[in-house]
Amino acid sequence: MNESIINRLSAISENEMSVLSEDYSMASDAETAFANMKLRQRDYIYNVIDLSKTVSARPHTRFVEFPRHSHNYIEIMCVIRGEIRHIINGKTFDIKEGQLIMMNRHISHGIRASGENDIAVNLIVSSDYVGIAGARFRGDPSLRDFAEQEENEHGEGRFLIYGFDSNPYAEALIEGLICQCLFESDTPKGILRETLSLLLRHFEAKPEMLLYSSSGDPERDPVREKIGAYIQSFYKTASLSELASILTMSEPYVSKRIKELYGATFTALVSERRFSEAEQMLLHTDLPITEIAEAVGYDNNSFFHRRFRERYGISPSKWRKENRTLR
């Protein structure tokens, strides 16, 4: 993030001065300096947020704890330096430098007091915008679910955590939003809206940026869905390098994600899919074993026989005979 932006955001604001006790010093621990917490009972919306805009912003107020609250808008907190601790559904989420948390209007959360070097900006997004934009998120289950729940008047609380520190393009878009909202008050609404759209579309195109989805359903993980669809369709010729290219990720990262999501290696998943298909062919066709081996991706018939024996303890022909008899 541009140092000039960080310097401007680092300055103690009037709101922050109002919550600091008289004996506060810049070197003291911020958490001991809350004798006069004038903002304690205030909701975020009292901090001069212009909800007539698609996107507006304000620096996060440091040195004070925000008790559990909710909003009538989408909030995106971008942490520029340090970290901000959120409490959601009794769980702690530390949003660190280079990360952001996006929460829909049904989320109720609290925020622990932060220190002088914990700098964040809240982007406030009108609920209508995400409802309209949600129709675009066909390829990202997490964003699609977030938008669908946002549109529903009685929808469930959803939040997503993204990392943007290793993605220069996303960081530039966030920097642009912050500058346009906070320091360039005459920026046309259309530019803000399109900048936000580009950021969300970038999240959709780069699933590795998603660090956490509150849906709680691992089956909805966007990376998992793409991996599963690839292996399901291309098991015969599947390769880790091709999958990494499709996901626009590095091979080591994809390998690591597969292990995290499935508890198995890429090779094991492909093998599982191939033998699942081989079983169906052995049971429901009279194709020779050599043709079945080739059909599921094994050019070497001897290798197929060896792997089959390792897996089932018997030859493919004997497995076919025994299992057809059971049927």
Q: What is the CATH number of the domain that holds 294?
A: 1.10.10.60
Say how far apart CA 116 and CA 62 lie, in whole Å: 7
For the cut 90, the answer to whether the pLDDT of residue 128 exceeds it is no
Boundary of a domain, candidates 165, 196, 215? 215
Phi, psi of 99, deg, nearest 5: -125, 160
Are 229 and 309 members of one domain? Answer: yes
Q: Is the pTM of this model over 0.75?
A: no
Band (pLDDT 50/70/90 cuts) for residue 143 is: confident
Band (pLDDT 50/70/90 cuts) for residue 97 is: very high
Range in 64-68, 137-141, 158-162, 285-289 the model is least confident about = 137-141
CA atoms within 13 A on the CB side of 238: 22
Say how far apart CA 320 and CA 303 lie, in whole Å: 18
For the cut 80, the answer to whether the pLDDT of residue 296 exceeds it is yes
Structure tokens belonging to residue 72: 């009538």
Are 74 and 22 members of one domain? Answer: yes
Are 188 and 239 members of one domain? Answer: no
What mean pLDDT do residues 123-141 have? 69
Boundary of a domain, candidates 200, 215, 230? 215
- DSSP 8-state symbol, 183: I
Are 35 and 149 members of one domain? Answer: yes
- DSSP 8-state symbol, 276: H
pLDDT score, position 132: 54
Say how far apart CA 165 and CA 11 lie, in whole Å: 23
Are 277 and 197 members of one domain? Answer: no
Highest-scoring range by mean pLDDT, 174-178, 192-196, 256-260: 174-178
What mean pLDDT do residues 81-104 have? 94
Are 26 and 175 members of one domain? Answer: yes
The residue among 314, 267, 316 whose CA lies nearest residue 291 is 316
Boundary of a domain, candidates 184, 215, 246? 215
Are 183 and 119 members of one domain? Answer: yes
Q: By residue range, what is the domain housing residue 131?
A: 3-215
Are 179 and 283 members of one domain? Answer: no
What mean pLDDT do residues 76-97 have? 94
Sequence-separated (6 or more) residues with CB below 8 Å from residue 234: 242
What mean pLDDT do residues 4-21 have? 85
pLDDT score, position 27: 38
Domain count, the chain: 2
Structure tokens belonging to residue 259: 């292990």
pLDDT score, position 39: 38
Band (pLDDT 50/70/90 cuts) for residue 253 is: confident
Are 92 and 18 members of one domain? Answer: yes
pLDDT score, position 248: 81
Are 77 and 208 members of one domain? Answer: yes
pLDDT score, position 41: 34
Say how far apart CA 275 and CA 310 lie, in whole Å: 12
Cα-trace Rg, the chain: 26
